[in-house]
Structure 1
Amino acid sequence: MSRRPSAFSALIAVDKPAGLTSHDVVSHVRRAVGERRVGHAGTLDPAATGVLVVGIGQATKLLGLLTLDRKGYRATFRLGAETTTDDAEGEVCATADVSPELLEASRAKSELARLVGEVDQVPPRFSAVSVNGRRAYDAARAGEELELAARRVTIHDARLVSVDAEERTWTVDLDVSKGTYVRSIARDLGRELGCLAHVSELRRTFSGPVSLDACVSLGELAEGGAELARERALDPAATLGLPVRDLCLDEVADVMNGRRIPAGELRWGGSPEPGGRVALVFGGALVGIWRREGARLVCESNFPQGIEGVR
């Protein structure tokens, strides 16, 4: 049986609250906008809050195309204890003394500065990393030990926001590559400093080009529904990082049927790069992602209903 057309298609950013899984957010969005085809990009742990990009309708097809190569977080590192999950959700499994100098801002800043650069990072035991078809968190819950391989990640920036000596915490702003575990940063830093540490709070402040300013809350979405989602839709071309090639009316039928069209000119001047991808736009909606071959554009993906929000 064919799927009924979506009422509308758009990318939105949700400010995920604590206590919900990313899939829970998807369920809330489905109910709020009255659309079954909803998905998300870039999972957030239940305890974490902040930017979660959500696709509605045909925009779910964009989720696998989003690079979102850099992520931003505001994290609170609690010194003096390591937990089974490397965050506050787990049980304390080891403790250590915290020297007074580690609670001085100058020392905290210098230690964070040393984090910047590439590092081989071992994911937390409780993570979605798969080993031989088994999720790490499933093995951890069953009391099994999985050998998790280190992965090369990049910490682009690590800046101190504040130190709370009474609570023995550092609040930190991080700019990291996709796939970086902030929990692992806290765990490894605590071990290196000899004081042990875990993440007590985590908020994603940006995901690629999408920041908290672009987000809607689930409460706002429940009240405003599909109309609010359309008003606050992300620009799909900008979120994908693609140049825009506007279509004229005479080209639309060719595009919908996958027939090659001239490379033409981009919205802000110039021609598409050879082999480069472009966002085809008509009537303020993304209708295709095409690639230049020679003097023409060829189809990679089409979105017949159009994904709203192009500005």
Structure 2
Amino acid sequence: MTRVISGIVKLRRISLNGKVVLITGASSGIGESVAAEFYRRGAKVILSSRRQSELNRVMESLINSEQSDAYPPAILIMDVSDLDSIPAKVEEAYRIHGRIDIVVNSAGVLSRAEVIESSLSVYQEVMQVNYFGVVALTMAVLPRMIQNKRGHIVAISSVQGRMAIPRRSAYAASKHAVVAFMDSLRAEVADAGIYVTSIHPGYVKTNIAHVSLTAQGDAYGQEDPNIEQGYDPVDVANEICDAVECNTQDLVIAPFVPNLLIYLRTVFPALHFFIMKRIAKSENYY
């Protein structure tokens, strides 16, 4: 696995044992794998998602794993797109263990369509989940973290938060917004004992393609060859937990080509735009 780390890294690892970790999107994909890895490392995991049945499945999987002496996982039903409900849900989360040490924003939705074909409602839905959900949850936990002078906020963005590809305008825009939000937040809380980490994975083998939104907001319902050939989410989760242990500020988990495109977008934009134009003509990136 190729990864690129930018920003200041704390060389001495912290221990995740006993840390209270709230993970959104924990019912599937990267969120589920991240929850399993935090649990394996001894964290007190709070699994959060909209789907009770899937959270029960994940919880049972953790309990039945080899970490029989780990802290029992907890469940918090929360819809990050319901912004008004988040403060009360966070209070509910605080009542579980009395504190929240780490928040991992992993809930997300993908869309795939050209701009000319897309409904505005799709852009609104993607931004509501991928961006405003992160903002609302951060705003709900931040006052207590500042008061306690400790905490760690993690956002699972995407390489498309660093550069955009064709037919992903809504998704890429939402992830760019997350990156900008996290960058601003990082500077604001730098002296408050709070760490801020942005994670930018490339393609990861999850079911996100099946549930991604089409131009009119329907489920795509098909496999994506790029995603099917992507990284194992277990490996990605291991990288993410390492980043949290090391207080890494910014982490790209992607092969050489996406890293090169990110680099070209900054230092040689004309070439980057030419490559994107070629990609737009390729059905492999639909």
Pairwise same-fold verdict (TM > 0.5): no
Query: What TM-score do you get using the length of structure 2 for normalisation?
Result: 0.23
Query: What TM-score do you get using the length of structure 1 for normalisation?
Result: 0.22
Higher Rg of the two aligned structures = 1
> Whose helix proportion is higher, 1 or 2?
2
